[in-house]
A and B are shown apart, each in its own frame.
Chain A
Amino acid sequence: MAKKNVITAALILIGIVIVAFFGIRAFHAFKHFQGHGPFRGKPPAANQIDVSIIRDWMTVPYIAHLYKVPPEAIFKSLEIPKQKENAKKNLAQLNKEYYPNQDGVVLAHVQAVMQAFQKQDPPPPFPATPVFTPTPTANP
């Protein structure tokens, strides 16, 4: 009987802790929705997409598709050869391979280039002038 009471009390206590923990996190996540509602009507055009959504798990062809720019131009601005294998690697992998001593430089560069490209009106033929040029530390 005592064992059953201990299990019951433990279940109630664990339940309360889990509800409280995830409840607070869910509340904070919900607050972030403000100003980020679903799009109404047409989805945003390529030049309206915030570059801060670019993540290091994204591949160059995917980013090129999202922002409507040729993938070759992104590879060129990164000074990374456009090979089939590189097209399948994400930004983190490209960073590790071509700029091993400069953490996050590929992500920052791609974000900066996309932003510079978006700011120009009318958009110039890609690539836009790079904001900065990373120095490759490894040869492909």
Chain B
Amino acid sequence: MSSTISNFLLTQVINYGAPLFALTLFLGALGVPLPSSIMVIAVGAFSQEGYFSWLQMSIVGILAAFIGDALSFGMGYYGKGWVQRKFGNSAIWISARDSFQRQAWVAIFLTRFLITALAIPTNWIAGGSGYKFSRFILYDIFGEFTWIIVYGGLGYLFGSQWELVNDFISNFGGVLFGAVILGVGIWFARNSQNSNRNIA
């Protein structure tokens, strides 16, 4: 299924260029499950082949992803009331919100290009936890810039072999996603141990 979507989008980006590329990245940033990273790597390769202008595609890509992220942040911001009513008094929510506020820049920056599966929840949490929009934008732009330059650059460097790069990057992203889940589990386990000791 995902391969069918990728193939369809690859054909369409060849046919329609920048507008289709922008639309894919914009919808991806809003949470629509589209293969945005594949598109960035492929467009890098197509640019190396002289099919597109790498500069134009980079600018369009960064802008589209940025606008999508800003709207996604807005969803979290306007959904804040509901979250507050539902979890506002929960100690876990308060603790998670405070930890996010302290280290938000790491989460925002890294989820743009390294652990992309967590980008949308990060945008929602940032918006919903009252994180300053101007700061979010700053780290978001840096992250999206890194995403486009690194992924697109690898596509450009490997040219017609870009599928190898995509294969490696998507699996490596999976490793990092698993590592985050594992890290959260270990963090919970250590917290639980510490609270047990305190009780004793």
Contact = CB atoms under 8 A, between A and B. Distances in A.
Contacts of A90: 7, 11
A29 B167 contact: yes
Contacts of A53: 160-161, 163
Given A8-B189, A38-B157, A53-B160, A22 B14 contact: no
Contact of A11 (B7, B50, B175, B184): B184
Interface in A57-101: 57-59, 61-62, 65-66, 88-90, 92
Contact of A22 (B7, B49, B161, B175): B175
Contacts of B11: 57-59, 89-90
A25 B171 contact: yes
A73 B134 CA distance: 54
B158 A36 contact: yes
A33 B163 CA distance: 10
Contacts of A61: 14
A125 interface: no
B161 to A, nearest CB: 5
A8 B159 contact: no
Interface footprint category on A: 35 or more
Nearest to A17: B178
The main secondary structure of chain B at its interface with chain A is helix
Interface in A20-40: 20-23, 25-26, 29-30, 32-33, 36, 38-39
B194 interface: no
A15 B179 contact: yes
A107 to B, nearest CB: 12
Interface of A: 4-5, 7-23, 25-26, 29-30, 32-33, 36, 38-39, 43-44, 49-50, 53, 55-59, 61-62, 65-66, 88-90, 92
Interface of B: 6-8, 10-11, 14-15, 48-51, 154, 157-161, 163-164, 167-168, 171-175, 177-186, 188-189, 192
